Amino acid sequence: MFHHLEGEEYSLAGCSLYPQLLKHFSDEDNELSLCSIILFGMLLRGVKEEHRNRVEDIVIRSLVPLIIQLTDPVSGEECQIVLNTIVTFLKLGELPFDIFESVQQDRLYHRFSVICKYILWRYRQRLRDMLTQMMEYLKSRNPAHREAATILIACNAQYMKPDLVSTKQIDDIYLALLDLQGDLDVAVSNAAVAASEELFRRCGGRINPKIVPSQHLLSMLKNNMARQ
């Protein structure tokens, strides 16, 4: 519908469309998801400098959904394209050339760690909101989304400092990961076990002891004894 317009014209229309498109990035309808992602990127490429401030917030909010969607076999390639468009739009400078390239699931932790280091960390003041987005994906009916969100949370555990993430939010995330250990999908369950251990390793001192399983408490005691 926008092909007959100049980029600067349809970019203005996009200001009101971005939030609606974002809602459908992870839609169960693959065609709707793919079209929403493609159109989002197309509109973003047409944004003029004087309109940047009007769309920057929604662009940053699109990062987590697009990163999680990188694992999708249908829309993953388009997500790479849109994320590279966002890197240019946000003027993030030089990044590893393969930062968004698809990888095997067993390499997902490394890929997400690189993305967190070079991109999400730059917007760490919004980490609370990003973690809230990730937690929503833990409830997804798509196991690939649940697994990707779990791994992305684990990659961000090292950045969950007191000035960025509240103790309550850490408790909520920890409980959600413990609950996900019972997921019927083995890959999701395994990712949840690893993520809860990583979160406890990084933030154990801030987690309410009443919600911590005995094996994690025992691990903390052993670590403390080893340091002495």
For 69-86, the pLDDT digits (tens) are: 999 999 999 999 999 999
Distance CA 205, CA 14 (A): 45
Distance (Å, whole) CA 128 – CA 168: 11
- The more confidently predicted of residues 24 and 221 is 24
Q: Is 227 helix (H, G, I), strand (E, B) or coil?
A: helix
Averaged pLDDT of the chain? 91
More confident residue, 225 or 35: 35
Question: Is a pLDDT exceeding 70 seen at residue 222?
Answer: no
Q: What is the pLDDT at residue 180?
A: 98
Is 80 exceeded by the pLDDT of residue 221?
no
For position 128, what pLDDT does the model report?
A: 98
Q: What is the pLDDT of residue 11?
A: 64
In 3-state terms, what secondary structure has residue 54? Answer: helix
Give the angle subtended at the CA of 54 by the CAs of 26 and 34, to the nearest 5°.
Answer: 20
Model confidence, pTM = 0.91
pLDDT tens digits, residue range 182-211? 999 999 999 999 999 999 999 999 999 999
Q: What is the pLDDT of residue 80?
A: 96
- Whether pLDDT at 3 is above 70: no
- The whole-number pLDDT of residue 223 equals 61
Cα separation of 5 and 18, whole Å? 17
Cα–Cα distance, 134 to 147 (Å, whole number): 11
134: its two tokens: 């990730």
Section 107-128 average pLDDT: 95
Query: Concatenated DSSP letters for 141-205?
Result: S-HHHHHHHHHHHHHHGGG--TTTS-HHHHHHHHHHHHHHTT-SSHHHHHHHHHHHHHHHHHHGG
Which residues make Cβ contacts (< 8 Å) with residue 213, sequence separation at least 6? 178
Q: What is the pLDDT of residue 103?
A: 74
8 Å CB contact between 154 and 198? yes
**Long-range Cβ contact pairs of 209-212 (< 8 A, separation 24 or more):** 211/171, 211/174, 211/175, 211/178, 212/174
